[in-house]
Amino acid sequence: MKRHQKTDAPHEDFKRCCQQMHKYQDSSVRMIYEYYKDDLINILGNIDTHAVLRQLSEKNVLNAEDYMSIANECEGDVFPAKLYQDILDLGREAVIGFWECLSALWKDYPSPNLLAVLNEINHTGEDLVQQILLDEHGHPLDPDLKASQNEHKQHLLKKTENLVEHRPPGTTKEPQEFYLNERYVNLIVVSTDEFRERPQNELKQTGAKHEECLKKMKTGLEHIFPNKLFRRNHKSQCVPHAVMVSGVPGIGKTTLVQKFVYDWVTGKHYQRFAFVFFFRFRDLNRLGEVSLEDMILHQYPYLENQIGSILEHPERLLFLFDGLDESIHQMDFRRSKLSNSKVKENLGEIVVSLVRQRLLKDCSIMITSRPTKLTSVDTDVFQRIAEIMGFLYGDRLIYFKKHFGNEELSEKAFQYVHENDTLYTYCYIPSYCWIICTVLSMCFRDQPTINDQMMTSLPKTVTQLFVTFVSNILANNSQTEEGARELLTSIGWMAEDGVMNHMLVFDKRHLESFSVRNDNHLSSCFLMESGQPPELDYTFLHLTLQEFFAALVHFINYSPDNLQKSLNCDSYKDGRAEIFLQFLCGLSDSSTRSMLKSHVGELSTQAARHVISWIKEKIEKRQTNTSEEEKRALLNIFHCLKESRNKDLALQCLGSRTRFELSDVPLNPIDCSVLSFILESSEKIEELSLNKCRISAEGVRKLLPALHGIKELSLAHDNLHGSCTGLASGIRNNQTLKTLYLSDNNLEGPDISELMEVLPTSQIENLDLAQNNLHGSGTDLASRIRNNQTLKILDLSDNNLEGPDISELMEALPTSQIENLYLSHNKLTEESCTDLASGIRNNKTLRGLFLNNNNLEGPHFRDLMTALSTSQIETLWLSETKLTDRSCVHLASGIRNNKALNDIDLSSNNLVGPHLSELMTSVTTSSIKELNLSGIGLTDEYVPLLVPLSESKNLIELDLSSNTISEAALSHIRELIMKSSSLKKIEICGKGISSEAVRELQNTRPGLTVHIK
């Protein structure tokens, strides 16, 4: 039933939706269209522009020709937004026609957002208009409650209308405030249900998922806009009451919630909620046992007189809880017991009971959390789970422009970051963008011109970025060298304790324990305060800054034991210390350390040597391990090696190895950049195997610089569809690459076309394109192998090549230099035998033809065998080609007249019958050395027909396994063995044959190997 719904639901949903639209009044049609504005612009942005304009033109909604030139000139969402607005301006019929166009385009451009919209429209039905009006105007309230609501909104407006950013070093000492709408940049939020134990640092892993997410958004992931977080969820088939929003540190969870509250306060969305209550878990940590009413009034005391009336209508209430990962309270979302808002309980029980709808049934609740926290939480109770993925490319540029406020500076800064693989990848995180922009602002400050020389002096690694950040803060705050060292030591040990113990929030006791003076204005450059005195909490500006200070302290206050203990944290499976370790390695670079020398004096060279020794030890230990876990660990060490900028060390660690293999380890763009650095450090690597690494187009681009000395490159099972432009660029005129494995990559159409275009100018001798859905690509393949003088081996197995594809390939084959051609699993029929025959007839170069798993039985099989007799083919595999006894006559003819054939595989065909004798006789007069008759249906009745094989002077190996041969028929096998002068190895099926008979057969003739299967 479910399968039927999945197949037919979109079509039926469109039909019902369009029927419903025709029933609505003009104002309602317009209202619904405007309500889904963000979704519709998103949908338009993910549909081929020409396809949608063609459909709109056919439906007489608009003239496509009027929009083609506009579409070509617009970037991003500009054109989709214009198209959306123009359709709205054209009125009712145009809007309904637009929905019908989306219906026609659904099959070719399936959109999760469109599915969500249709689902909501159809299941809400006639109530949809009332729901939209309720979200716009809210519930009618009595005067007293309305007055409390207004007071509440005014309070929240003051809390949310400004976006507070930490001050840039060297400017004002007060935090900077910006009007939220002027500073806020949209974040990408997508549907997800993946909360697994993460083997990598969560920042790196989410960064790795980012590009994959952007690809999936067109067809697989729903882009959820803030005003749709509580829309009907077509996956859970309900309107969610409980929503979980996850995101890595600094991704914008708190800012997203702030924007959500601000938009509610200003009437932009969700007026169905009469009251929205916003809490931070870190603030609630100080509360003991409280009631729900106490919890609300503790933060919103002005609601005391109306709290009873407010809670009377739970369906009008929304609770927002930010930072589940910062809560000290245990929460088991599998069960709850609290149902009374006046009963005092543990804070965790209150939250769980709200989520499970035991307390204030029908209220709504949204919680934010880091993904790592959710691996230990039962998330099934949430009807919607979303993840913040951060900034898209265009959003990052917008952020830079808003931060710098200067077009030239913002573009130069963004260009610089975009060219730096590591820095750019982390720019999906808003707080990271702030750090990068702040550092670049410092570098640009007081510079009369931004020239190329200055750009080359900017930080190149993440470590250098943070070194520059800290050194500029120290430079702009008058501190003695001793005072700076004292502060960085105390704050560093606290930071390290937090990194090792998953602690982000610190209080007064932590500061006192590590002698961190919070009255020192310099410490406030690194730490943020929250709460009200005397109960203050402290967090670093960003988790990554905390990790940097945790590493820096070991170079300021070096202790061999302490450093070794910290280095041992690489054994943690949760990736908590990956970036910390990279900072340690980054600081082992003397030029990076020297940037802090004028502020804190010399940093420890002993610590640097200690870290370098650790890198060597780890690489030597892991180079011989082949498990996926060990390969990932080795790659993490390579990340550290790149951060150290030590090419000599990289060369030393790689040693004399000529082969490098990281198969089965997913490689994100940063991983590929790191791998490129490592490979470029060695001139000896000739073979590179990256199978099943799921490398993106961006990852391929980053690997290109490292391919210049590679002779053998394996990128099988990597889903390279859409990545061939970069790959083609990498192999174009590459004179070293001889072997390229690209099987199972879904290469089709433009992909194969681009690859084939560079084939004539390359030196590739062995090309594997198996399992790539190349049906229809015969023309491209044929045009590039024709007269190619280097390609010797071409594997086109499992590509559904038939008809015209094979015809064109075979036409080009005689003029190529191909020696081995693999065409197994291609659904070839006996009609293809005519084309195959034309390709091998009198071919002077082809030595191996592999046709396994095709359907070649039929009249035209004779053509292939006739051509075989005049070819130079030495190896012919015809396993599982549906051949029968009738084909034995043609096989015999082809074998008899071919003087080159020495290996033929006829296994898994039904060859038994009267003509089998003729086939065996032809083998005796041929040059065949290896004959595979496994699984041909051989029974005792036909075993005597094999005896003539003993007359062959060339037959060395005979495979008779997977046949039904009883012990009674072994006498004929023994006779064959005794008479044969050349046979050295035979395989037979041992089922039903006694061990004594097997031993007797093995002892028939000295020098013969008998394998029993």
With contact defined as beta carbons under 8 Å apart, do 960 and 983 qualify?
A: no
With contact defined as beta carbons under 8 Å apart, do 819 and 791 qualify?
A: no
Q: Which of 876, 865, 882, 992 is nearest to 936 (CA)?
A: 882
Q: How many CA atoms within 13 Å lie on the side-chain side of 937?
A: 11
pLDDT attached to residue 501: 86
With contact defined as beta carbons under 8 Å apart, do 110 and 14 qualify?
A: no
Given the structure tokens 């030029």, which residue do they identify? Answer: 591
CA atoms of 278 and 209, how far apart (whole Å): 30
Reduced to 3 states (helix: H, G, I; strand: E, B; else coil), residue 124 is helix
Q: Which of 303, 231, 243 is nearest to 272 (CA)?
A: 231
pLDDT attached to residue 440: 86
CA atoms of 409 and 13, how far apart (whole Å): 50
Task: List Cβ neighbours of 380 (8 Å cut-off, separation of 6 or more).
Answer: none
Tokens matching residue 739: 């072997």
Strand 820-822 to 793-795 pairing: parallel
CA atoms of 543 and 579, how far apart (whole Å): 10
- Cross-strand bridge partners of residue 688: 660, 713
- The model's pTM: 0.75
Q: Which of 287, 174, 237 is nearest to 2 (CA)?
A: 237
Architecture of domain 171-390: 3-Layer(aba) Sandwich (3.40)
With contact defined as beta carbons under 8 Å apart, do 350 and 339 qualify?
A: no
Q: Enter the DSSP assignment of 340.
A: -
Strand 162-165 to 176-179 pairing: antiparallel
With contact defined as beta carbons under 8 Å apart, do 875 and 902 qualify?
A: yes
CA atoms of 959 and 964, how far apart (whole Å): 13
Q: Which of 862, 913, 867 is nearest to 891 (CA)?
A: 862
Q: Dihedral of the CA atoms 739, 741, 747, 751 (nearest 10)?
A: -30
CA atoms of 317 and 293, how far apart (whole Å): 13
Amino acid, single-letter form, for residue 133:
L
- What is the helix (H) or strand (E) element at residue 162, kind and residue range? strand 162-165
pLDDT attached to residue 299: 93
Q: Cis peptide leading into 534, omega within 30 of 0?
A: yes
Strands of 681-724, DSSP E: 687-689, 712-714
Tokens matching residue 550: 């945790």
CA atoms of 1007 and 344, how far apart (whole Å): 89
With contact defined as beta carbons under 8 Å apart, do 149 and 306 qualify?
A: no
Given the structure tokens 């096998």, which residue do they identify? Answer: 973
Q: How many helices (H) and strands (E) does the chain have?
A: 46, 24
Domain 647-800 and domain 828-1013, same fold? Reply is yes
Task: Sheet with 384-390: list strands edge to edge.
Answer: 188-191, 384-390, 242-246, 364-369, 317-322, 275-280
CA atoms of 332 and 70, how far apart (whole Å): 55
What's the angle, vertex CA 50, arms to CA 45 and CA 51, rounded to 5?
Answer: 85
Strand 793-795 to 317-322 pairing: unpaired
With contact defined as beta carbons under 8 Å apart, do 32 and 24 qualify?
A: yes
CA atoms of 718 and 742, how far apart (whole Å): 8
Reduced to 3 states (helix: H, G, I; strand: E, B; else coil), residue 505 is coil
Strand 930-932 to 957-960 pairing: parallel
Tell me the H-state helices in 576-723: 578-586, 590-593, 597-600, 605-622, 628-644, 647-654, 669-680, 697-703
- Residue 589: exposed, middle, or buried by beta-carbon count in 10 A (0-12, 13-18, 19+)? buried
With contact defined as beta carbons under 8 Å apart, do 800 and 776 qualify?
A: no
Q: Enter the DSSP assignment of 518.
A: T
CATH 1.10.10.10 fits 647-800, yes or no: no
- Cross-strand bridge partners of residue 319: 277, 365
CA atoms of 20 and 126, how far apart (whole Å): 8
In whole angstroms, how far apart are CA 42 and each of 80, 81, 187, 209, 894?
A: 8, 9, 14, 20, 62
Rounded to a whole number, what is the largest CA-CA distance in the chain? 111
CA atoms of 83 and 61, how far apart (whole Å): 11
CA atoms of 881 and 879, how far apart (whole Å): 6
Given the structure tokens 């309305």, which residue do they identify? Answer: 146
pLDDT attached to residue 931: 97
Mean pLDDT by 10 residues, the chain (1013 residues): 40 77 86 92 86 88 84 80 92 90 82 86 85 93 95 95 65 57 76 52 53 52 87 86 89 91 94 96 88 95 95 96 89 87 92 94 94 81 89 83 85 86 80 85 70 74 90 80 90 93 86 84 78 76 88 95 88 71 94 90 94 89 73 87 88 82 87 88 87 85 84 90 80 85 86 84 92 87 87 95 90 93 95 95 93 95 95 96 95 93 96 93 95 94 92 95 88 90 89 79 83 81
Tell me the H-state helices in 871-969: 887-897, 916-924
- C-alpha R_g of the chain: 35
Long-range contacts of 650-654 (CB under 8 A, 24+ apart): 650/677, 650/678, 650/681, 650/682, 651/681, 651/682, 652/616, 653/615, 653/616, 653/619, 653/620, 654/678, 654/681, 654/682, 654/684, 654/685
pLDDT attached to residue 373: 81
With contact defined as beta carbons under 8 Å apart, do 494 and 516 qualify?
A: yes
Amino acid, single-letter form, for residue 833:
C
Strand 1009-1012 to 957-960 pairing: unpaired
Phi-psi category of 558—alpha, beta or left, where left has phi over 0 and alpha has psi -120 to 50? Answer: beta
Q: Enter the DSSP assignment of 741.
A: E
In whole angstroms, how far apart are CA 557 and each of 492, 527, 564, 601, 607?
A: 10, 21, 13, 12, 9
Query: What dotted CATH number matches 828-1013?
Result: 3.80.10.10
Q: Enter the DSSP assignment of 911.
A: -
Each domain of the chain, given as residue ranges in start order, spans 2-137, 171-390, 394-444, 475-616, 647-800, 828-1013
Amino acid, single-letter form, for residue 462:
V
Tokens matching residue 817: 């230099």
- Cross-strand bridge partners of residue 364: 318
pLDDT attached to residue 391: 83
Phi-psi category of 934—alpha, beta or left, where left has phi over 0 and alpha has psi -120 to 50? Answer: beta
